[in-house]
Amino acid sequence: MSKLIEQKKGFGTVPVFLTAISTILGAVMFLRFGYAVGSISFYGTVFIVIIGHLVTIPTALAIAEIATNQKVEGGGEYYIISRSFGINIGAAIGIALYFSRAISIAFYVIAFAEAFEPVFEWINSEFGFSLSDKRIISLPAMLILILIMLRKGANLGMKALYIVVIILFVSLVLFFMGQTDYSADSSFVYLSQTVENPDDFFYVFAIIFPAFTGMAAGVGLSGDLKDPKKSIPIGTVAATITGMVIYIFIAFKLSRSASSADLVNDQLIMSDIALWGPIIPIGLAAATISSALGSIIVAPRILQALGQDKVFQVKQANDFLGAERARDKEPINALIITSIIALFFVLIGDVNFVAEIISMFFMVSYGSICMISFLHHFAGDPSYRPSFRSKGVISMVGAVACLYLMLKMNFTYAVLALATMTLFYLIISATNGNRKGLAKIFQGVIFQVSRKLQIFLQNTEKEEVEGWRPSVICISETFFQRPSAFNMLRWISHKYGFGTYLHYVNGYLSKESIESSKKEYEEILALSSSTRSNVFIDTMISPSYTSAIAQAMQMPSISGKEFNMILFEYPKGEEKVPTRITENFSLVKAANFDVGVLLTSERDFGFRKRIDIWITKSDYENSNLMILMAYIIMGHPEWKSARINIFAIFPEDDIERERKNLTELAQQGRLPISAKNIEVIEKKEEFSNRDIINSKSRYADLTIVGFRSEAIKQLEGEIFAGYEEIGNTLFLNASKSKLIV
């Protein structure tokens, strides 16, 4: 067993570099780089190389960074993404990345057949026998490649890579040594020349960009490396920078060695420039077959990792794809599936359309890796301690560049790629409901945003503003019996205000009380989550309700706005609770809080169609608070069809004046209160205010009544009694009169 593990974990840094560089210097370099120089000039091609590496260099640095922070196992980029974003998101990207790699095998094999164009021309000239179907080369090549991998696996692939890279190196040396008549006569002015009516810059970029996508090919060997944390950073970054430098020199050599027309029209123009022309088709064959070899090594390992993570709905499929051959740990089943997919596209023979889609999926995966690195930097998680560090801003540039270039290359294909990824994610999430779609990294990001906002709000100079916004705290132990107070907070905090619900646990702080409060907290959180409320929920253990109030009022509000109101709640007919409220009223008023007391009935909030506000001469300073509270409650969808009625009880001499004042207030304050819903009632000695309220608001779903601080000192709990004939009632006391602006 130890020998098998040693065999599997036998690769060092060199195979990572060779896999990446042999994929970077591939088919596009030999077949289409001359077209790019002829179409947009040497300077334009260098610009393509630069903006292309705005994607690849940040991605290479991000891969190097993430790989040195965590154990990187089989699956390469997929493993990195899934362990940072979560299995669901990672699997969606991994599936897209797998298909990109699998179809790339066919793309490179078809490009390999193009290397035999000179052979076809020679046969035609010597024997008069015309050959045009390249599949007579690509199909046998694909079958041989599959046979090699099935019999020998990645170890033989690595040995073949050394030979391929040597041929590639020789072909490039002979290319740079070559001279043409054109190069003898040309000057640097030719560096800016293009053909007439050249293709659009981003169209050329879309064709050339696949040349840079081999940067992460070596990462797919992560599960077969002795030390991935060392080999991946060094090999990937070295291959990326080396490829960039070589491409710039190739563009310069092409621009100095052939005319723009020849560069565009002759896809094997490098043969005419090289010191020995046949080396270019040989190099093309070596480069394309090495790229195909790299892809056929990497793709099955991505599919195997997906199977081992059990991302597919069918257990048998996961077991089949995740299996490996006993003697050499090769992902044999995943290799068979990959070979079938590649062979299918080789049979089609034309993958131009698919190749553009492939580029889109590579962009998505690279952008995801860059975004992961940026989010890790931003989150500031102390467990994120890579031995190699990039810069968060560099990763962000890479992510933004990926999205921008996708949309510029082909908007339709970009949308299609993103839509396909989203579809994968939705399917995987639906079949793997127990997996977290967002991993710990997003919690860290939210933590950092919240922390920075809190510090900003704390340090910002507090200015007196005319408008009023409620920041309400409620301390109650009755959530499971009567969620009325929680619902009130839910409506207040939906759009305009902020609510904090503290579930009160009577007792002293101990291990047992903490565990009990945590269980109740989780139950409340689970129940409240279905309401999609904006209420912040927590528990508070305290030996008395008074101490709980004192603690709560001194707590910092997570909204950044200090608490300015406390909400009490009790049911009709219960005498003990009002006493608890009245006994702590002076404590609350000492903190200059507004006070709300919710009196609940069996009718609860009824149909949520009608809110009645009652204003009297004795508590006029509460009126604006009551009106604003009714308006804020109506901001919740559950009250969107409700109407507000304002009732005012005044002596006969004041009726017209108060009606006019209230009407103007509703109009100037842009309140949804019709003049016909404002009624001023004459105060008569034979009827108490409570009698009038019970009569008029019998069918109201919520009745809002003001009360004075002086009255509660005199009457105590009696001030809230006598409203048995109406539904839920909210009593409000303002610390100071509010302005409606």
Percent of the chain with pLDDT over 90: 15
Q: Give the CA distances from residue 144 to residues 40, 116, 137, 150, 151, in Å, rounded to whole numbers and listed in that order.
A: 39, 17, 11, 10, 11
Sheet of 498-506: strands edge to edge?
Answer: 536-542, 498-506, 471-476, 565-571, 594-600, 729-733, 702-706, 610-616, 643-650, 678-682
- Write out pLDDT tens, residues 248-274: 999 999 988 888 898 888 888 898 899
Degrees to nearest 5, angle at CA 619 with 614 and 620: 80
| pLDDT-wise least confident of 87-101, 380-394, 563-577 | 380-394
Q: How confident is the model at residue 154 (pLDDT cuts 50, 70, 90)?
A: low
605, 598 Cβ separation under 8 angstroms: no
What residue has token string 């040396």?
Answer: 173
Tokens of 716: 């105590």
Residue 671: is it exposed, middle or buried by C-beta count within 10 angstroms (0-12/13-18/19+)? middle
CA distance linking residue 148 with residue 339, whole number of Å: 12
Please give the pLDDT value at position 295: 80
- Residues 6+ away with beta carbon under 8 Å from 44: 36, 194, 201, 204
Among 683, 663, 659, smallest CA distance to 675 is for: 663
pLDDT at residue 501, rounded to an integer: 92
Q: How confident is the model at residue 487 (pLDDT cuts 50, 70, 90)?
A: very high
d(CA 368, CA 355): 20
pLDDT of residue 608: 93
| Distance in angstroms (rounded) separating the CA atoms of residues 400 and 65 | 19
Tell me whether domains 2-431 and 471-733 share a fold. no
Helices (H), 178-268: 181-185, 201-208, 228-257, 260-265
Q: How far apart are CA 741 and CA 627, in angstroms?
A: 12
pLDDT at 566: 93
Q: Tell which wins on pLDDT, 633 or 441.
A: 633
Question: Cα–Cα distances in Å, from 491 out to 53, 629, 631, 721?
Answer: 51, 10, 11, 25
**Residue 170: which residues within 8 A CB-CB, separation 6 or more?**
279, 283
Q: In this structure, are residues 154 and 224 in contact, taking their beta carbons and an 8 Å threshold?
A: yes
What is the share, in percent, of the chain residues with pLDDT greater than 70? 87
More confident residue, 89 or 29: 29
Task: Calculate Rg over the CA atoms of the chain.
Answer: 37
C-beta of residue 701 within 8 angstroms of C-beta of residue 727:
yes
Q: Which residues pair with 646 in a beta bridge?
A: 613, 678
294: pLDDT strictly greater than 80:
no
User: Helices 135-177 and 228-257, interaxial angle, to 10°?
Assistant: 80
Each domain of the chain, given as residue ranges in start order, spans 2-431, 471-733
pLDDT of 7: 41
Q: Is the pLDDT of residue 702 over 90?
A: yes
pLDDT of residue 488: 94
Q: Where are the alpha helices (DSSP H) in 508-544?
A: 511-529
Q: The domain 471-733 is classified under which CATH number: 3.40.1160.10, 3.40.50.12370, 3.30.420.40, 3.40.50.300?
A: 3.40.50.12370
Q: Token digits for 181?
A: 């008549």
Q: For 342-394, how does the pLDDT look when each residue is reduced to its tens digit (9 = 90+)?
A: 888 888 766 556 667 777 877 887 888 888 888 878 877 666 777 777 888 99
Q: Indicate if the pLDDT at residue 654 is higher than 50.
A: yes
Tell me the torsion sign for CA atoms 311, 316, 320, 324: positive
Residue with the two structure tokens 């301690």: 385
> Taking each helix axis from N to C terminus, what angle separates 332-348 and 279-308, rounded to the nearest 10 degrees?
130
Lowest-confidence range among 135-139, 310-314, 432-436, 692-696?
Answer: 432-436
pLDDT at 70: 66
C-beta of residue 165 within 8 angstroms of C-beta of residue 21: yes
- The pLDDT value recorded for residue 474 is 92
Question: Taken in order 673, 679, 685, 688, is the CA torsion positive or negative?
Answer: negative
Domain 2-431: which CATH class?
Answer: mainly alpha
What CA–CA distance (Å, rounded) separates 57 from 36? 21
Residue 187 clears pLDDT 70, i.e. is over it: no
Least confident of 254-268, 278-292, 692-706: 278-292
Question: Pairing mode, if any, of strands 643-650 and 565-571?
Answer: unpaired
Q: What is the mean pLDDT of the chain?
A: 81
- pLDDT for res 337: 92
Q: Where in 385-535 does DSSP place strands (E)?
A: 471-476, 498-506
Q: Parallel, antiparallel, or unpaired: how do β-strands 678-682 and 643-650 relate?
A: parallel
Range with lowest mean pLDDT among 128-137, 243-252, 551-560: 128-137
What is the C-alpha separation between 65 and 55, in angstroms, rounded?
A: 15
Q: How do strand 471-476 and strand 498-506 relate by DSSP bridges?
A: parallel
Residue 648, H or E segment: strand 643-650
How many angstroms separate the Cα of 63 from the Cα of each of 59, 388, 590, 729?
Answer: 6, 10, 58, 61
152 vs 656: which has the higher pLDDT: 656
